[in-house]
Structures are given as C-alpha cells and as structure tokens.
C-alpha cells in the first residue's frame, strides 16, 4: 500500500512539474500574411494558390511546443506581390501591439518572398522594441514533398525565444540562415538559399542544438508612423537610352518623391539628369540609388548626370540601400515631415 502511495505521489509531482514547465514556456505571436508558404497546388488551375492558414502551417511543426506557446493571428492570406503601404501599416500596428504585451517574447511574420525584403525593412524602421521580430517565407509551396515552410517556422520560433536575438532589429530566417532586414535581398527565383546580404554576410545560423549569432546590425533607426496614408513615391529605372519621360510623367501624375535606380555609383545620362532637375524644380525630392547589388552610390563623377552633378542639383544619395528599400525610407521620411535635401541626406547616411 505504501509503495502504491509513493508511486501515486511521484506521478502527481511529475504532472505538476510538467504543468509548471508548460506554463513557463514563452509566448510567441505568429502573424500569417500569406505567400508561397501558405499556398498549395490547385487541382483545377494546376498552380500554387493561397490555401492554408497560419494554424495549418503551425500544425505541421509540433516540435515548436518544446520552445514556446504560439498564438496565431491570420492577418491576411495574399501573395506578397499584393503588399503595399496600407497593408504594411496594418502589419506594423499588429506587430507593435503584440510586442507591447509583457508575456510576448517575440513575433514571427510569415510572408511571400517576392517583397519579403521590403516588408522586413519597413518593419525594421517602424517597430520599436528590443524583442525579436523574425520574418519567414518559403520557396516551395505546401504541396511540395520538400516544403521548406515548416523548417523555417521552427527556426523562427527558436530565434524568437533566444536571448541573443534581442535588440537586433527585424531578422529574416530561412534555410537555417539569419539575415538582417536592412541588407538582405532575394537573389534567386527558386533556390531555397535565395536570401543573401551581399558584402555584409549573415548575422548567424540555426543549428539543431543551438542558434549562433556572429554579428549584429549597427545602422538602424526608428521612424514613427504618423499617417494612415503614405505619400506616393515612384521608382524610375535608368538604362542605356533612357529619355527621362517616365520620371517627368511620375512627377506630373502627383508623385511626392522619386527614387532613381541609377547606374554604377549613381550615374545617369543627360536626358535623365534633366528629368531629375525637372522634379527638383517642382520641389519633389529625388533619391539616387543603383541597380548594382553591392557598394554604395556617391557624389563622385562630375560629368552631366554623374553622381556629383545630381547631388549638387539637390538630389539625395541612397548610400547602399537598394531602390526598393530607398523608396520605403523616403516614404516614411516624407510622412514624418522631412523634405529638405540636408535632412533627407542625414537620414540616409545614418542608415
């Protein structure tokens, strides 16, 4: 009888300890927005379409329960090609609201890969918290036998509860690699190792036994969202033979800012340069970026259309930000009331 009581007591203690451990698990908010990670092959269209929720994806990774309690917010289920400023604003509000809850250790955002780098950078600029925000996607849809979504979600959960991930801004976690939102870009249409950070490299990696960080991003800033509608900012590409007509048209159609995807260190031909001056003459800020993947634009070349001539005319140099990220920063700065070349340039130099 005594032995039975002892076994009963031991079992009760084990149950209580297990219950306590379950309660001690950190809470992670998982915000699903759609993308390939939420798609399956439609039997009629015979092509991937939005099909699964955040809850469905979570159900494929029971191992996450070892690390955290996951709360799912199915914010949307759209291809990331549909992402735009109104959706970004809504997402920022959801992320900030989650991070303000004391019990939430971090936030995961699932997203399509086509504009994932833009959304990650937007969140990096508009979310103010030391808690981790981890964005993930998938290159293969949920109908694939080697679907990469579950692994990316599990890794994101492990990162979101890791003390090392605090105060590093928004992180992109795919293919066991961790990249900083500011530097990362999609480099391959299909490869699972599509996201790269160019000359800057990875922040860290996720291994079966632990998460390893090798460095942290230093150039970061926060810009509060002050408007429910972002100013219209267009990207215009420079290429051999460009005549500047599209840039002029963007100005005439009401653009409040222009980003030029220039060449090399930020150079363009004379017709495009004249179009830049046309925009500046109408008090429309112009930011010069480049189509080159690595390096930064500079006020360097002195020929008509060279980087120095556009800077002297009043344009802003984007540093090493890609055109799509320069557009996001310019939008946020304009809605924050910054329109002068010197204050815009200071913000681009800071980040």
Characterize 243-258 residue by residue with b for buried, 16 or more Cβ atoms within 10 angstroms of its Cβ, and e for exposed.
ebebbbebbeeebbbb
Note if the pTM is more than 0.85: yes
DSSP 3-state of 274: helix
Closest CA to 287 of 223, 219, 238: 238
Q: Is the pLDDT of residue 6 over 80?
A: no
Distance CA 109, CA 95 (A): 9
Mean model confidence pLDDT for the chain: 94
* Number of neighbouring beta carbons within 10 Å of residue 109: 26
Q: Which helix (H) or strand (E) holds 5?
A: helix 2-24
36 is catalytic: yes
Helix axes 116-126 and 323-335, enclosed angle (nearest 10): 30
What number is the average pLDDT over the span 112-125?
A: 98
Among 10-24, 96-110, 122-136, 240-254, the minimum mean pLDDT is found in 10-24
Q: Is the pLDDT of residue 166 over 90?
A: yes
Given a contact cutoff of 8 angstroms between Cβ atoms, the answer to whether 262 and 288 are in contact is yes
**pLDDT tier at 84, thresholds 50, 70, 90:** very high
339 is catalytic: no
Distance CA 338, CA 85 (A): 18
Give me 197's structure tokens: 């950070």
Q: Is the pLDDT of residue 339 over 70?
A: yes
Catalytic option among 6, 33, 60, 113: 113
What number is the average pLDDT over the span 195-209?
A: 96
**Coarse DSSP helix, strand, coil percentages of the chain, rounded to the nearest 5 percent:** 40, 20, 40
Among 19-33, 97-111, 194-208, the minimum mean pLDDT is found in 19-33
Q: Is the pLDDT of residue 76 over 60?
A: yes
Given a contact cutoff of 8 angstroms between Cβ atoms, the answer to whether 266 and 290 are in contact is yes
Catalytic option among 33, 36, 126, 290: 36
Distance CA 251, CA 267 (A): 20
Percentage of the chain beyond pLDDT 70 is 93
Residue 16: predicted pLDDT: 45
Residue 24: predicted pLDDT: 85
Q: Is 113 annotated as a binding residue?
A: yes
Residue 351: predicted pLDDT: 79
Residue 23: predicted pLDDT: 61
Residues in Cβ contact with 97 at an 8 Å cutoff, skipping those fewer than 6 apart = none
Q: What is the bridge-based pairing of β-strands 195-196 and 177-180?
A: unpaired
Q: Is 339 annotated as a binding residue?
A: no
Give me 262's structure tokens: 């220039």
**pLDDT tier at 219, thresholds 50, 70, 90:** confident
- In DSSP notation, 186-244 reads E--SS-TT-EE-GGG--SEEE-SS-EEE--------------SSPPPEEEEE--TT--S
Q: Is the pLDDT of residue 17 over 50?
A: no
**Taking every pair of C-alpha atoms in the chain, what is the biggest distance, in angstroms?**
97
Helix axes 323-335 and 341-350, enclosed angle (nearest 10): 130
- Residue bearing tokens 């993930």: 136
Q: Is the pLDDT of residue 13 over 50?
A: no
Distance CA 21, CA 102 (A): 19
DSSP-derived secondary structure letter, 139: S
Q: Is the pLDDT of residue 9 over 70?
A: no
Q: Is 119 annotated as a binding residue?
A: no
């Amino acid at each position: 009888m005594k032995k039975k009581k002892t076994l009963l007591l031991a079992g009760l203690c084990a149950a209580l300890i297990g219950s306590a451990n379950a309660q001690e698990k950190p809470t992670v908010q998982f915000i699903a927005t759609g993308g390939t990670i939420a798609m399956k092959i439609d039997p009629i269209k015979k092509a991937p379409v939005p099909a699964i929720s955040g809850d469905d994806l979570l159900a494929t990774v029971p191992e996450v329960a070892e690390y955290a309690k996951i709360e799912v917010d199915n914010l949307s289920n759209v291809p990331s090609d549909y992402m735009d400023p109104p959706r970004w604003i809504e997402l920022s509000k959801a992320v900030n609201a989650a991070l303000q809850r004391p019990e939430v250790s971090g936030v995961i955002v699932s997203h399509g890969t086509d504009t994932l780098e833009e959304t990650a950078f937007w969140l990096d600029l508009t979310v103010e918290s030391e808690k981790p925000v981890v964005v993930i996607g998938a290159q293969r849809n949920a109908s694939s036998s080697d679907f990469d979504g579950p692994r990316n979600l599990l890794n994101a959960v492990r990162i979101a509860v890791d003390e090392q991930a605090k105060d590093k801004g928004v992180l992109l976690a795919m293919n066991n690699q961790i990249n900083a939102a500011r530097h990362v870009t999609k480099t391959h249409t299909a490869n699972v190792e599509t996201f790269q950070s160019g000359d800057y490299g990875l922040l860290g990696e996720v291994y079966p036994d632990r998460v390893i960080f090798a460095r942290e991003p230093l150039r970061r800033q926060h810009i509060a969202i002050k408007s429910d509608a972002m100013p219209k900012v267009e990207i215009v590409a420079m290429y051999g033979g460009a005549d500047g007509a599209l840039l002029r048209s963007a100005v005439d159609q009401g653009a409040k800012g222009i980003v030029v995807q220039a060449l090399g260190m930020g150079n363009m031909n004379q017709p495009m340069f004249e179009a830049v001056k046309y925009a500046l003459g109408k008090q429309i800020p112009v930011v010069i970026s480049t189509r080159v993947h690595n390096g930064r634009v500079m006020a360097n070349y002195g020929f008509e259309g060279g980087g120095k001539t556009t800077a002297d005319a009043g344009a802003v140099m984007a540093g090493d930000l890609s055109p799509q990220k320069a557009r996001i920063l310019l939008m946020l700065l304009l809605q924050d009331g910054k329109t002068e070349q010197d204050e815009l340039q200071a913000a681009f130099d800071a980040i």
